[in-house]
């Protein structure tokens, strides 16, 4: 039998803290060599792109493939979202498909969770820190949620080029997290924060990196093509640069590809993968003044670990529909 889980069912069993723990395991496996993570495969039919993201986590016993499509004309032409994702979770022992689940909410939570883990390891540990969020879409919401799980956050400042989007963000997140959230009038206002997340659709740098204060930690999750970046050369040069995967960063992240191409830094500026920090192979922050960056491109190991967690919990709770395929 194959279990089918819709978005609400996935959301009902997936909380940030548990997902952060699952991400820690996944990134550790990547660093320890027990993860299989082939490059994602892309096919481009006339109207969009279809991506196949498989991975296997040996220690966790989790095997899955996410199918995610980006069809820009979907909303206007078909009344469907631009991005649609589903995860196929398999039994590693038999290969059989155990579960097909909605992948939209899962992707957002696992992306937040990776930043939460990075924040746990890389940011300063003092209490009453201020979070700064660029962007106020789905991902930005999950970024703030994850940061509040990782550190004691007393206040958040959000900036979006859409005033309405920022207001909706504040209304939603105020209720969910019960912290003070302020709307910034300019990007500069966000730079007062101790922990900053960039989660926008922008392909150009969001702020002047010379203005970031010492000791700041930044999670950069938005841009994901070689020509696009949310972070400028100045902030990358000033920082200790950690990525989800070295390979993905040098293939997809303009945030580091562009400063290298400009000659401002060399590839050796890439300090470590997140898994190397978690497993203690490389030291994390070594003083209170360092600026740290975690660049996230999004890896299939994250989807697999989150899907495994969702399936275990859904089975325990008896939710979803079982079908014979």
Ligand X SMILES: NC(=O)c1ccc[n+]([C@@H]2O[C@H](COP(=O)([O-])OP(=O)(O)OC[C@H]3O[C@@H](n4cnc5c(N)ncnc54)[C@H](O)[C@@H]3O)[C@@H](O)[C@H]2O)c1
Catalytic residues: 66
User: 120 vs 224, which CB is nearer to ligand X?
Assistant: 224
Intra-chain end-to-end CA distance of the chain, in Å? 7
Stretch that binds ligand X, among 31-39, 153-161, 171-179, 252-260 (CB under 6 A): 153-161
Q: How far is the CB of 230 from ligand X (least distance, A)?
A: 8
Residue that is written with structure tokens 């993570």 in the block = 37
User: 7 vs 125, which CB is nearer to ligand X?
Assistant: 7
67 sits near ligand X (criterion: CB under 6 A): no
User: 34 vs 82, which CB is nearer to ligand X?
Assistant: 82
Q: How far is the CB of 220 from ligand X (least distance, A)?
A: 8
CA of 69: how far to CAs of 74, 84, 236, 260, 316, in Å? 10, 5, 31, 31, 30
DSSP string, 102-134: E-HHHHHHHHHHHHHHHHHHHS---SSEEEEEE
Q: Beta 83-90 vs 62-70: how paired, if at all?
A: antiparallel
222 sits near ligand X (criterion: CB under 6 A): yes
State the number of CA atoms in the 13 A half-sphere of 262 facing the CB: 15
Contact 309, 75 (CB under 8 A): no
Q: How far is the CB of 273 from ligand X (least distance, A)?
A: 14
Residues in the chain, total: 325
Other C-beta atoms within 10 Å of 124: how many?
17
Comparing every residue's Cβ against ligand X, the nearest one is 137
Give the residue, chosen from 103, 209, 254, 298, that forms a contact with ligand X under the rule CB under 6 A: 298
Stretch that binds ligand X, among 39-47, 86-94, 95-103, 295-303 (CB under 6 A): 295-303
Q: How far is the CB of 134 from ligand X (least distance, A)?
A: 5
- Footprint of ligand X on this chain (CB under 6 A)? 107, 111, 134-140, 159-162, 165, 199-202, 206, 221-222, 224, 296-298
């Amino acid at each position: 039998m194959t279990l089918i889980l819709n978005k609400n069912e996935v959301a009902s069993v997936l909380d940030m803290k548990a997902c952060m723990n699952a991400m820690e395991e996944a990134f550790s496996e990547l660093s320890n060599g027990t993860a299989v993570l082939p490059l994602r495969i892309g096919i481009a039919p006339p109207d969009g792109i279809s991506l196949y993201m498989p991975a296997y986590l040996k220690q966790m016993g989790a095997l899955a493939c996410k199918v995610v499509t980006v069809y820009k004309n979907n909303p206007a032409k078909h009344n469907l979202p631009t991005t649609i994702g589903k995860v196929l979770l398999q039994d590693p022992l038999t290969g059989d498909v155990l579960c097909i689940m909605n992948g939209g909410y899962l992707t957002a939570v696992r992306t937040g969770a990776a930043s939460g883990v990075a924040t746990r390891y890389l940011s300063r540990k003092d209490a009453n820190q201020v979070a700064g969020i660029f962007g106020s879409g789905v991902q930005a919401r999950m970024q703030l949620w994850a940061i509040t799980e990782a550190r004691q956050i007393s206040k958040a400042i959000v900036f979006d080029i859409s005033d309405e989007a920022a207001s909706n963000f504040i209304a939603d997140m105020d209720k969910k997290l019960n912290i003070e959230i302020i709307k910034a009038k300019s990007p500069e206002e966000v730079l007062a924060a101790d922990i900053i997340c960039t989660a926008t659709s922008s392909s150009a740098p969001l702020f002047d990196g010379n203005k970031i204060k010492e000791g700041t930690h930044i999670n950069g999750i938005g841009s994901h093509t070689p020509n696009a970046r949310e972070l400028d050369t100045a902030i990358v040069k000033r920082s200790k640069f950690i990525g989800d995967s070295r390979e993905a960063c040098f293939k997809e992240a303009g945030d580091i590809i562009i400063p290298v191409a400009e000659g401002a830094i060399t590839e050796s500026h890439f300090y470590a993968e997140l898994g190397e920090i978690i497993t203690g192979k490389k030291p994390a922050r070594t003083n209170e003044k360092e600026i740290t960056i975690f660049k996230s491109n999004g890896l299939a190991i994250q989807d697999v670990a989150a899907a495994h967690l969702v399936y275990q919990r859904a089975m325990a709770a008896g939710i979803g529909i079982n079908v014979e395929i």
